Amino acid sequence: MILIHVCCGPCLLYPLAWFRERGIEVVGYFYNPNIHPYREFKARIKALEEVEALKGLNILWDKNYGLRWFIKETLMVWENPQKRCERCYVVRLKQTVKKALELKAEAFTTTLLYSIYQRHNLIREIAEDLSHKYKIPFFYEDFRKGYQLGQQEALNIGIYRQAYCGCVFSEEERYSKTRKKELNKSLKKEE
Ligand code: SF4
């Protein structure tokens, strides 16, 4: 069995189909203290519950709302999106590894590898480091190739599809033109 960290319902659809086509058993794990505000967190849980029921997938849930945790974790780095996201990935994947070890899973992976908006290579690097450190295989696949298929299925089944990554900062980066400009400038400086 492979434990798959699940960030949300829409991002699970394609990877789940991919595993099932190959006869590989997966169990989902929802652990995302990075999703804010509260109503958004609830909306994403509801969408994933719909997928869980529709697909008959076993999902292990951590439904604790993590705003306070996230603020503490990112206090020193929130102004640097690169570092902020890195910390966010590390925490979610480390928790997934611990859960996978507890369940004696053969490997772990994440639906974060499906999104074309995530820092794919950074996620892969972090997961490989954790795999090495905790001695559990990381199952890598570039699920981005199925991005359109997954999105289309989410539309067809009518589940909620979020418009931003998750944290309050990403919500601002999505909707504030000023913040978008500042962000682009800081990313250019980093290049
Ligand atoms: S933008 Fe997304 S990955 Fe980055 S810190 Fe926010 S929720 Fe986490």
CATH of the domain at 38: 3.40.50.620
Q: Is 110 in the pocket of ligand 1 (CB under 6 A)?
A: no
Q: Is 88 in the pocket of ligand 1 (CB under 6 A)?
A: yes
Residue 111: pLDDT band with limits 50, 70, 90: very high
The pLDDT mean for the chain works out to 94
First-to-last CA distance in the chain? 40
CA torsion, points 182, 184, 115, 155, in degrees to nearest 10? 70
Q: What's the gap in Å between 172 CA and the centre of ligand 1?
A: 11
The percent of residues in the chain predicted with pLDDT above 70, rounded, is 97
Q: Is 115 in the pocket of ligand 1 (CB under 6 A)?
A: no
Q: Which of 52-61, 112-121, 124-133, 182-191 has the lowest mean pLDDT?
A: 182-191
Res. 186: pLDDT tops 70 = no
Q: Is 123 in the pocket of ligand 1 (CB under 6 A)?
A: no
Res. 190: pLDDT tops 80 = no
3-21 residue pLDDT tens: 999 999 999 999 999 999 9
Domain count for the chain, please give it. Answer: 1
Q: What's the gap in Å between 88 CA and the centre of ligand 1?
A: 6
pLDDT of residue 79: 80
Residue 133: pLDDT band with limits 50, 70, 90: very high
- Phi first, then psi, for residue 97 (nearest 5°) are -60, -45
Q: What's the gap in Å between 22 CA and the centre of ligand 1?
A: 31
| CA atoms within 13 Å, Cβ hemisphere of 171 | 11
Task: Compare 81 and 111 and report the one with higher pLDDT.
Answer: 111
Res. 75: pLDDT tops 90 = no
Q: What's the gap in Å between 87 CA and the centre of ligand 1?
A: 9
Q: What's the gap in Å between 64 CA and the centre of ligand 1?
A: 17
Q: Which domain holds residue 180?
A: 2-190
Task: Compare 183 and 86 and report the one with higher pLDDT.
Answer: 86
Contact between 40 and 170 (Cβ < 8 Å): no
**Of residues 44, 24, 130, the one with CA closest to residue 86:** 130
